[in-house]
Structures are given as structure tokens and as C-alpha cells.
């Protein structure tokens, strides 16, 4: 269980305790060098830089990890948003779960078609035929030419102009190390820095000091092979056959998880540049809790915007919760332009909205010219990013007037 003294620690002390639990990620020095050069370039050009976090974090159960706890996030919102920020002139640091969706390539890696279905082999040229080769050049199929050309041009522009930096993480501790380091490196940006925290960060973890070193065994071992140093669970929490009609020698595993310290307030007050904008997300499944939990997060962590969304309607609607009027503002894709969703529940659209008298009317915005990742509807991110940039514009302008 969590040390009761942790609750009495200052935020800085809690930060020190958590980060001392784990060694820094091996890739951290390399990522810091890449990020420093990237940030310095855009500071010189007076360009805005957004740190987009994306995908889920794992919670390892063993130090030499075989098993881990994960969540459903594939990184769709983060990857889509990164593309839209790039289109609006921002440089993007994309801190993502390794192997989750990436900007631009998501259009093909997240397709119902295999990537190879987009390609074909052309007939051999006369030159290759004369040389005895029957291999034709690989080409994109005619029906996908325009779509792939558009995505390819955007991707190449971002890479060739050094507007996109991809940095991966896997575990929740790696994410925390990376977030802290990048936020501190972004300090020279001042108000030109934006934090768009779309990653699905684990709420619970196993402290390194309590983690098993080796794979947790699912059956009894002879006494001489048992490792007494692995203390992930107490002996009385591993039991066999207690509640089974037929006794078994298979173990049942009970794991105590500690809450991950909430460093979002430290991001605002300790790590991030002065005057920067911090945007976080709140995902819920219960419509009656969404607005309350988003408001609570806004007040607790002093962020400038919390974007709330329901699991069942997240592709069609979001709510902006802000410290200033109108406080609660809904954005919705019009019903005629909503993408198809296997997990979506149309009947739940609007259920989480507060009483109409206490909120601005929901905006159902028709917007064309966005990258078509869903192929049959508007992506909700194409509504989120322009409205978010308007809020960032105001913060930058206000900071400039007070300077």
C-alpha cells in the first residue's frame, strides 16, 4: 500500500520520491538531445511548439516484463490532432506510445485494408525486359493515387522542414520521465508552448521496490527454486483452490496497485514554461460524471482547458471546460457527417450535457478540407484544434500585452 506519509509531502517531495523509484529510461538522453535541438530551432524562428502526448501507458508487473496492464488507447486522437496542429503552422513534438498510431501513416496503418492492398506491380519496362528481368516497378493503385499523394506531401513537408519530432515511450514511468524533461526543455518557448495531453495515462502502478524481478509463476515451484526476493504480493495473497469446488495447483494472483502521483499540477507550477497553455483530457463512461470530473480536474490541476469526452461518443462530441465563461462548451459533429463507429452509441450523444441554461449552446460545425481519416465523416479533432488555437491566440496576446 502507499506510504501514508506520501499524502503529507509537498508536490516537490512527492515528485522526488516517485522519480527515485525508477531509473531514467535508457533513451532519455538521446530524446533530450533531439528535443533540445528541435526546440531551439523553433525558438529562433518564433514558432509555436505543441507537445502532443498520445496512446496508452503500460504498467509492468515484473521488472523483466512479461506481463503488464494496459488500456484500449490506440493513439487516434493524438495522431489526428498532430496533423491538424501542423496544418495550422505549429511545430509538433509527438510523445507517443511505441507502435501506436502516428501522424500521416495512421491513414494506412489504421485502415481496414492491408497496406499492401494500396500497391501494385506495374508491367516490366522494355529496359528491364531486355536485360532479362521480369520485375516491374512497385506503384500505388490508381484509385488511391490522389489520397496518398495528399498525405505524402503533408508528411514530407513536415519532415523536410523539421516541424515534427517523434519520441516513443512504453511504460507509465517512462512517460513521466519524458513529460517532465520535455516540459523543462520547452521553457525558452514561453507562451509559444502548448501542452496537449491526449495520452491515456495509467492511474495505478506497482512501485519498483515492490515489483517482482522475474516472471511471476502461475504454478507452485519446489522450495529450492523459489525466489524469496520477489515480493510483489504477500504469501497470503497468493492462494490455490480456496473458492474452487475442485482444488487446483494453479495460483490466483492478487496485486496491490498504488495510485500514480498526480503530477499535472507540477507540470503547470514547476515544469512548464511560464505563460504556456496546458490542455488535458478527461474520459468517462458515465454521462452523469463527465462534466463534474472535468471541472474537478480543471480546478485541481490549474489547467487552462480540460476536454471531456465519453467513451461511447468520443468520436462525435467533446466538451470544453474552462475557468472563464461560458465554462462549459460542447462541440459536436453534425449527425449527417458523423463517422461510423462500432463502439459508438448514438443514443448517448447529449446525455452528459448540463442544463441548457448553464452552458453555451452546442456547436455543430460543418468543416471541409480536413484530412479524411475516417473516409465517411468529419473527425471531431477538426473541430477541436481550431477552437483550441483561438484560446491559445488569446493567451499569447495577453502575455504579449503584459510583457
Q: What are the pLDDT digits (tens) for 197-226? A: 999 999 998 888 888 888 877 666 566 666
- Please, are residues 216 and 61 in contact by the beta-carbon 8 Å criterion? yes
Task: Assign 254 to helix, strand or coil.
Answer: coil
Q: Maximum CA pair distance of the chain?
A: 80
Q: Is residue 224 part of a domain?
A: no
Q: What is the pLDDT of residues 81-118, one digit of tens each?
A: 999 999 999 999 999 999 999 999 998 876 667 788 88
Q: Is residue 128 part of a domain?
A: no
What band does 39 get if pLDDT is binned at 50, 70 and 90?
A: very high
Q: Is residue 3 part of a domain?
A: no
Predicted confidence (pLDDT) at residue 15 exceeds the cutoff of 80 = yes
- Please, are residues 310 and 287 in contact by the beta-carbon 8 Å criterion? yes
Q: Is residue 248 part of a domain?
A: no
When pLDDT is averaged across residues 2-29 and rounded to a whole number, the result is 79
> Residue 47 is part of a domain; what is its CATH number?
3.40.50.10300
pTM for this prediction: 0.86
- CA 269 to CA 238: how far, in whole Å? 42
Q: Where are the alpha helices (DSSP H) in 75-218?
A: 76-87, 106-109, 126-130, 145-160, 172-185
Share of the chain above pLDDT 70, in %: 81
**Buried (b) or exposed (e) across 20-58, using 16+ Cβ within 10 A?**
eebeebeebeebbeebeebbeebbeeeebbbbbbbbbbb
Q: What is the pLDDT of residues 135-167, one digit of tens each?
A: 888 999 999 999 999 999 999 999 999 999 999
Q: Is residue 251 part of a domain?
A: no
Q: Is residue 19 part of a domain?
A: yes
- How many domains does the chain contain in total? 1
- CA 234 to CA 319: how far, in whole Å? 44
Residue 252, burial from CB neighbour count under 10 angstroms (0-12, 13-18, 19+): middle
Lowest mean pLDDT among 14-28, 94-108, 212-226, 233-247: 233-247
Q: Which domain holds residue 276?
A: 11-118+138-210+257-355+374-401
Q: Is residue 127 part of a domain?
A: no
Residue count of the chain = 403
When pLDDT is averaged across residues 340-362 and rounded to a whole number, the result is 74
Q: Is residue 199 part of a domain?
A: yes
Amino acid at each position: 500500500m502507499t506510504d501514508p506519509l506520501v499524502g503529507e509531502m509537498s508536490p516537490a517531495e512527492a515528485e522526488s520520491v516517485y522519480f527515485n523509484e525508477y531509473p531514467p529510461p535508457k533513451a532519455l538522453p538521446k530524446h533530450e538531445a533531439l528535443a533540445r535541438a528541435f526546440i531551439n530551432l523553433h525558438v529562433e524562428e518564433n514558432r509555436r511548439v505543441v507537445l502532443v502526448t498520445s496512446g496508452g501507458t503500460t504498467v509492468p508487473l515484473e521488472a523483466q516484463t512479461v506481463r503488464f496492464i494496459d488500456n484500449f488507447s490506440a493513439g487516434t486522437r493524438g495522431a489526428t490532432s498532430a496533423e491538424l496542429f501542423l496544418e495550422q503552422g505549429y511545430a509538433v513534438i509527438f510523445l507517443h506510445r511505441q507502435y501506436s498510431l502516428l501522424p500521416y501513416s495512421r491513414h494506412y496503418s489504421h485502415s481496414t485494408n492491408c497496406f499492401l492492398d494500396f500497391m501494385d506491380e506495374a508491367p516490366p519496362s522494355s529496359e528491364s525486359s531486355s536485360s532479362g528481368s521480369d520485375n516491374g516497378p512497385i506503384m500505388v493503385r490508381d484509385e488511391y493515387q490522389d489520397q496518398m499523394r495528399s498525405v505524402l506531401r503533408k508528411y514530407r513537408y513536415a519532415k523536410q522542414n523539421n516541424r515534427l519530432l517523434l519520441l516513443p515511450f512504453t511504460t507509465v514511468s517512462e512517460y513521466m520521465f519524458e513529460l517532465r524533461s520535455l516540459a523543462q526543455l520547452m521553457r525558452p518557448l514561453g507562451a509559444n508552448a502548448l501542452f496537449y495531453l491526449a495520452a491515456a495515462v495509467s492511474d495505478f502502478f506497482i512501485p519498483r521496490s515492490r515489483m517482482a524481478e522475474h516472471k511471476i509463476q502461475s504454478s507452485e515451484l519446489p522450495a529450492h527454486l523459489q525466489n524469496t526476493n520477489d515480493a510483489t504480493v504477500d504469501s497470503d495473497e497468493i492462494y490455490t483452490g480456496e473458492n474452487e469446488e475442485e482444488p487446483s495447483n494453479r495460483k490466483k494472483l492478487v496485486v496491490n496497485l498504488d495510485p500514480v502521483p498526480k503530477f499535472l499540477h507540477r507540470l503547470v507550477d514547476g515544469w512548464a514554461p511560464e505563460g504556456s497553455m496546458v490542455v488535458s483530457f478527461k474520459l468517462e463512461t458515465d454521462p452523469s460524471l463527465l462534466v463534474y470530473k472535468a471541472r474537478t480536474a480543471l480546478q485541481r490541476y490549474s489547467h487552462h482547458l480540460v476536454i471531456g469526452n465519453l467513451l461511447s461518443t468520443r468520436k462525435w462530441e467533446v466538451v470544453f471546460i474552462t475557468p472563464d465563461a461560458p465554462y462549459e462548451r460542447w462541440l459536436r459533429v453534425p449527425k449527417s457527417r458523423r463517422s461510423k463507429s462500432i463502439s459508438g452509441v448514438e443514443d448517448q450523444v447529449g446525455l452528459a450535457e448540463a442544463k441548457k441554461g448553464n452552458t453555451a449552446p452546442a456547436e455543430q460545425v460543418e468543416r471541409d478540407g480536413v484530412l479524411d481519416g475516417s473516409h465517411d465523416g468529419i473527425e471531431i479533432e477538426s473541430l477541436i484544434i481550431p477552437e483550441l488555437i483561438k484560446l491559445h491566440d488569446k493567451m499569447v496576446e495577453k502575455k504579449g500585452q503584459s510583457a
